[in-house]
Copies of this chain bind each other. A is one copy, B any other.
Amino acid sequence: MNTEIETLQGREAQGLASPGRRSLLVGSAGAMAAVSLLGFVPLARAEEPKSLPDYAAWKERSALIVHSANTMETQRGAIGAGVVTPSDRLFVRNNLPAPDVGITANPDAWEVRIDGVKNPKTLTLGDLKQMGVTTVASVLQCSGNGRAFFPHGASGTQWSVGAAGCVIWTGVPLKTVVEALGGPAAGMKYITSTGGEDLPAGVDPKSIMVERSVPLAALDSALLAWELNDEPLPHTHGGPLRMVVPGYYGVNNVKYVKNVAFTEAQTDAKIQASGYRIREVGKKGSPDQPSMWEMNVKSWVTAPLETGRKGRNMIYGVAFGGTKALDKVEVSTDGGKSWSQAQFLGPDLGPYAWRPFVMAADLAPGEYRIVSRATDSEGNAQPEGRMENERGYGHNGWSDHGVTVTVS
């Protein structure tokens, strides 16, 4: 057995290196569990290009790095000005194989149970749509975005910068729903959401289910979303209904959400209890370690990448502050020795969105290390280095995220 959910995913990814395994792996939760139970020895990483799995076949292949059937990353240079990440360029990261696509055939019939409130109730998406609505732009980012930069070889998908995007969600504020049901029951401290994936037989559900708890404070911003980028929420991204917690790492934004419970304690599902915990390299995960909740301030350069042109170059990137608005972004073309402030580009979509930035630089022939450093509205700036940790989570060090560009 694997001891970490992401390790399981990592081995699944390796299995995909063999084309013959594709349909088996993409096909069903049962098949996936069989793979994990067999405990495959990791193989060498597969060569690019892999094709898109069927459930994500509508994606723009040229904009993505396909790590596995459950993990696809946006190319660093594929987001243009970067205001809103087009859905077909948005990264994909599923903790379990997606449930049958049929669940989006009649989205309004989807049911979600609300527990831990004064008047618990099962509501359909059709009901939710009449209760209220909000639209918010927010960064969706995997906890392991930047994992590829950890020198100890953190296990899991080797994301560079592309396990992130800025998208527009539309749904009902969770607070509106909960108030209609009398509010949270006394003493509840967490919002615990459960995904609607099919769980394989013969495996302890707690070891594999997607069930995440976030602090009750998230009630002020959380929504139950049925639209992504002004279209019905695609099955690939959790449709028909997804819990969205703006400013929190991706894993907390539970897909195919079928249960939302206000609870006294965090769930004991493995994905919460030992998974997605920050700890020293070599240590196992446990509930006393920090959980991957609120995102930290971060930025990266998106252009130019390998080569620049002699003379004027427009340096682009994106920056965000997690749950906080952004104050500024600085850019350096000499690896961080000197910095200049970049300009924000395009409309401000609110505190949870990222902001594209741009800075003009005149470059003579030579090699340049271009880095960016964002500071949020509370004065938190990206550090230079990594916070070393076993699973390579939460990396926002500016040095690793830079690019080396040759001008000739």
Contact = CB atoms under 8 A, between A and B. Distances in A.
Interface of A: 79-87, 89, 129-137, 168, 170, 227, 229-232, 309, 311-314, 345-350, 353, 356, 358, 360
A353 B346 CA distance: 12
Contacts of A231: 80, 86, 89
A124 to B, nearest CB: 12
A311 B127 CA distance: 11
A79 B230 contact: yes
Q: How many copies does the complex hold?
A: 2
Given A86-B86, A87-B86, A350-B347, A135 B227 contact: no
A346 B168 contact: yes
A130 B83 contact: no
Given A130-B312, A312-B130, A313-B130, A136 B84 contact: no
A93 B232 CA distance: 25
Residue of A129, A133, A309, A313 with most partner-chain B CB within 10 A:
A133
B170 A130 contact: no
Nearest to A130: B312
Contacts of A347: 135-137, 168, 347-350, 353
Contact of A230 (B82, B137, B313, B314): B82
A227 B133 CA distance: 30
Contacts of A229: 84, 86
Contacts of A129: 314
Contacts of A232: 80
A70 B118 CA distance: 57
Contacts of A133: 81, 314, 345, 358
A131 B312 CA distance: 8
A169 to B, nearest CB: 9
Contact of A80 (B230, B356, B360): B230
A168 to B, nearest CB: 5
Given A130-B309, A230-B85, A346 B135 contact: yes
A314 B81 contact: no
A74 B230 CA distance: 13
B137 A227 contact: no
Q: Report the 10 A-B pairs with minimum CB-CB distance, sorted nearest first.
A: A135-B346, A80-B230, A81-B170, A347-B349, A130-B312, A81-B135, A80-B227, A135-B345, A347-B350, A83-B168
